[in-house]
A and B are shown apart, each in its own frame.
Chain A
Amino acid sequence: MSWWKNWTWPTRLRDKGIIGMNRRNIRYIGRYNSRHLYPLVDDKLKTKLLAQRYGITTPELIGTVTTQFGVKHISEMLVGHNGFVIKPAKGSGGKGILVIEKVEDDAFVKPSGAHLSIEDVERHVSNILSGLYSLGGSPDVAVIETLINFDDSLLAYTYEGVPDIRVIVFKGYPVMAMMRLSTAASDGKANLHQGAVGVGLNIATGAALRGVQFDRPCFIHPDTGHDLASLVVPQWNTLLHLAAGCYEMTGLGYLGTDMVLDRKHGPMLLELNARPGLAIQMTNGEGLRRRLDLIERQPNGVSVADRVAFAQHHFARQSELVETPDTASASA
């Protein structure tokens, strides 16, 4: 019975501390994420303005389009910007994000090399405004940001898109982290279910633990062929502090923070998610349950630095991508 091989027992998942969708929804999101705080993270524009107030770096805002009338003026807004990103303020799951890498003459070039005309861009913005990508189809606002000049050290690990780092922050403690590397299969998008490679990261060091594509283990990037074992996220401590600070900023207890590394500005907050997915458990090869249980026993009111230090101490792990643990710590 070969089909049986693809299934496991609930008891084994529980032993591994895996959290299922139902438990996440009821036990963590339902309990720690108060509904009235959702708009702060569901609206990327609000998140951005809030982050600026709390001194958390985000990509620079070029402008917003709020009315269909404003769509016609978008070309004026874009003058002088070579690369930019247009996203719906209330989009979810990376939907409706248009990345323009450079502008050649009148053509807008996507990371895939596809050329778009100004009409294409305007239609995309118009779609965003009419609510095509927003939750529940409600009217939306288009946010235009500068393109992130992402850090060269990670260039070899990604194909076309920007690799982003997801850190789950529970009650202000960074509990688990992964990096999402876009691939040809994912069309330059960093969405795991579309085929991006997820790399579990050691909370202590930011070094790669294991790689996963389509929920199955992988050891090299499928497009660039680069070994994932050598991946270490630079400025890891800054990044963790940034992520942990989002707890104070939003008040959400169970939070997914999406960060990117900019060449000039270092770690930046890209967006927040009040319903972070469970795939991070796959990329780490470990369930969230034990870490969350440990955090639940910690007192409230601990400072950001102490929380990060606590997490780095308790959640340190060793890479599964290299043969001996010694080389992993050496490269880290």
Chain B
Amino acid sequence: MSRLPFYLIVGFLLVAGIATSVHRHMQFEIPWVPGEQRQVWEIEAVINFNAQNGPVQVDLALPSHQAGYRVLTENTASSGYGLAYQADELGRQAQWTIREAAGSQQLYYSVQMLVSPDARAPAQTPPGLSSPPPWESPYDTAASQLIDRAWARSATNATFARELILDINGERQGENARLLLTQEQPSALIVRLLNQAGVQAREVSGLLLEDGRRRQSLSSWIQVFDEQGERWAIFNPLTGEQGKPENLLLWETGGRAVLEVQGGTNSRVSFSMLTHHQPASAAVRNHYSEDTLLNFSIHSLPLEEQALFQTILLIPIGALVVVFLRVLVGIKTSGTFMPVLIALAFIQTTLLTGLIGFLLIVAVGLIIRNYLSYLNLLLVARVSAVIITVIAIISIFTVLAYRMGLSAGLTVTFFPMIILAWTIERMSILWEEEGPKEVLIQGGGSLLTAVLAYLAMNNPWVRHITFNFLGVQLILMALILLLGNYTGYRLLELRRFKPITDDEKPS
């Protein structure tokens, strides 16, 4: 019997699979690796104040799109309060209102900011120069002397601002500056002097982003309008350093108060933040408007079907893992492809929750199934009873998990119940006939296979490749065919047959 046709088919599948994948890569510029990871900051602002048994109005400035950051989503939590978002040329605000409130109040605002280096602030027009109130004597002399000295040492608005900051906050702080600082906060003083000199400037509030920080407050920064660049330049009011630190998120730029509370006392706002990475949503699907045969792609399907296919296309990966472990390693599993289904459930539940849920369900199921075997039932009826038992166990676990506040426990409903019931039935018979050891071997083998299949199927790179390159399915097919033709030893047989090779030595 010639094996030639077999190898021809395998070769054809390999060539076709690789060729279509390479074609898709070249033609549509789909990368081999999943899209770059984008950094997202989750920032939560907590407003605390004491309400005074009357109507309350709370205004909180909100961050907008700006250089380096883009607002993804925002949420608020505030029971009983009316909420309105307002936006004007000075920025965005959230306004909470309530007719009657008493005691300590907490309002929450959370926002997801996407770190995007190409993000730009909306078009900026220089604000009209606000004329600051005149200084009283002797402050007017001190102010004009400070301005004159800084003006003389500078060339542009930006350098003027830097010199002024150094004169007021830096080592060069002199008599004049100290005198003026008795009247104004440093940042406010700098802005006032800049305005007095005819330079457009304003004080803004920013948040320095650091992963995992809690109870942070906003810091004060100074923006100076750069007339050449027609944009705002930012200065650190303490050091005079120009330029925005990368981790600075501007929260309020309109020159208004960040937090205003009417009808409350002791108000304060504090921030906590977290960062995580998420894949940039590759807008691959926009590439596929025209439909050709070579362009045959599931991306032409509606979004909902695509999501379904993303999972379906992973199943061959799970099957490959099972074939590999059974043919090359020799691991025993309970039910050939049961581990793949369990692995699919793990994808929904996450690994740890899934493992705990699976073990709990099977363990409790085995105990109940053990009792069912005394009832002398027909097979189909008994398995049906086990199915109902599994559903009952899942329901009880879900309710218990919910009551205990473990939202992860809710995902156990993703387990395929019929498969679980058959697993329990098979394990139970195995237990009766071969003893607990065999149950451990086969159950452990199944779980190990399921975990490995899960790790393979949940790998972002594998997901990207299987979803974007249909040709990979042909390659998988070829690999599985090749494995099906393997007549060599399994890894575990090297251990099983070891005693035979031992005898060679004495003879």
- Mark A residues whose CB is within 8 Å of B: 6-10, 12-13, 16, 18, 20-23, 26-27, 31, 68, 95, 119, 123, 126-127, 130-132, 137, 193-194, 212, 215-217, 281-282, 285-287, 320
C-alpha gap A95/B434 in the complex (Å) = 10
- Contact B495 A6, beta carbon cutoff 8 Å: yes
**C-alpha spacing A123/B375, complex, angstroms:** 10
In the complex, which residue of chain A has the Cβ closest to the Cβ of B503? A285
Interface size on B, residues (CB 8 A): 27
Q: What is the CB-to-nearest-CB distance from A259 to chain B, in angstroms, rounded to a whole number?
A: 24
**Known A8-B494, A13-B500; further 10 A-B contacts with Cβ < 8 A:** A8-B501, A10-B494, A20-B489, A20-B493, A21-B493, A22-B490, A68-B378, A132-B429, A194-B434, A286-B500
Contact status B379-A18, CB under 8 Å: no
Shortest distance from the beta carbon of A73 to any chain B beta carbon, whole Å? 17
Q: How far is the CB of A70 from chain B (nearest CB, A)?
A: 14
B403 within 8 A of A: no
A132-B488 CB under 8 A given contacts A9-B494, A16-B500, A22-B327: no
Cβ 8 A contact of B376, one of A18, A126, A281:
A126
Complex CA gap A12/B501 in Å reads 7
Decide: A137 and B379 in contact? CB cutoff 8 A.
Answer: yes
A20 and B490: CB pair below 8 A?
Answer: yes
In the complex, chain A residues whose CB is within 8 Å of the CB of B229: none
- Cβ of B499 under 8 Å from chain A: yes
Interface residue? B380 (CB, 8 A): yes
**1/0 contact string of B158-177 vs chain A (CB within 8 Å):** 00000000000000000000
Q: Residue-by-residue, is B467-507 near A (CB-CB < 8 Å gives 1, otherwise 0)?
A: 00000000000000000011111100111111111011000
* CB pairs A–B below 8 angstroms (14 shown): A8-B494, A10-B489, A22-B327, A22-B489, A22-B490, A26-B485, A31-B1, A68-B378, A126-B376, A281-B497, A281-B500, A282-B496, A282-B499, A320-B503
Tell me if B330 is interfacial: C-beta within 8 Å of chain A: yes
CB–CB A7/B498 < 8 A: yes
In the complex, the answer to whether A21 meets B497 with C-beta atoms within 8 Å is no
Which chain A residues lie closer than 8 Å to B380 at the CB level?
130
Q: Which residues of A contact B434 (CB under 8 A)?
A: 193-194
Contact of B487 among A7, A20, A137 (CB under 8 A): A20
Closest CB in chain B relative to A2 CB, distance in Å: 13
Q: Give the residue name and chain of the A residue nearest to B483 (CB).
A: A22
Complex interface: chain A residues within 8 A of B494 (CB) = 7-10, 13
Q: Point out the residues of chain A lying under 8 angstroms from B490, CB to CB.
A: 20-22
B500 to A18, Cβ gap below 8 A?
A: yes
Q: Contact between A132 and B379 (Cβ–Cβ < 8 Å)?
A: yes
Taking a contact as CB atoms closer than 8 A, the residue among B379, B485, B500, B504 that contacts A131 in the complex is B379
B204 to chain A, nearest CB (A): 65
Q: How far is the CA of A286 from the CA of B503 in the complex (A)?
A: 10
What is the distance, in angstroms, from A165's C-beta to the closest C-beta of chain B? 21
Q: Is the CB of B487 within 8 A of A26?
A: yes
Contact across chains for A13 and B499 when beta carbons are under 8 A apart = no
Does A217 lie within 8 Å of B499, measured CB to CB? yes
Contacts of B493 in A (CB 8 A): 13, 18, 20-21
B505 to chain A, nearest CB (A): 11
Name the A residues within 8 Å of B499 (CB-CB): 212, 215-217, 282
| List of 5 A-B pairs having minimum Cβ-Cβ separation, nearest first | A130-B379, A23-B487, A20-B489, A8-B498, A12-B501
Closest to B438 in A: A193
User: Which chain B residue lies CB-closest to A210?
Assistant: B503
Give A12's nearest chain B residue, CB to CB. B501
List residues of chain A with CB within 8 A of the CB of B496.
215, 282
Chain A nearest Cβ from B333, distance in angstroms: 14
Complex formed: what's the CA distance from A194 to B441 in Å? 14
Evaluate contact between B489 and A127: CB separation under 8 angstroms.
no
**Which chain B residues lie closer than 8 Å to A9 at the CB level?**
494
Chain A residues lying within 8 Å of B500, measured Cβ to Cβ, are 13, 16, 18, 281-282, 285-287
- Which residue on B lies nearest to A216, using beta carbons? B499
Tell me the minimal C-beta distance from A56 to chain B in angstroms: 29
What distance in Å separates the Cβ of B168 from its nearest Cβ neighbour in chain A? Answer: 72
Q: Return the chain A residue nearest B493 by Cβ.
A: A20
Q: In the complex, A285→B500 CA distance in Å?
A: 5
| Residues in A neighbouring B379, C-beta threshold 8 A | 127, 130-132, 137
* Complex CA–CA separation, A95 to B330 (angstroms): 22
B433 within 8 A of A: yes
Flag if B376 contacts A10 (CB, 8 Å): no
Question: Complex formed: what's the CA distance from A286 to B485 in Å?
Answer: 25
- Residues of B contacting A23 in the complex (Cβ-Cβ under 8 angstroms): 487-488
- Shortest Cβ gap from A7 to chain B (Å): 5
Expressed in whole angstroms, the Cα–Cα distance for A126 and B378 within the complex equals 7
Mask of B299-336 contacts with A, CB within 8 angstroms, 1/0: 00000000000000000000000000001001000000
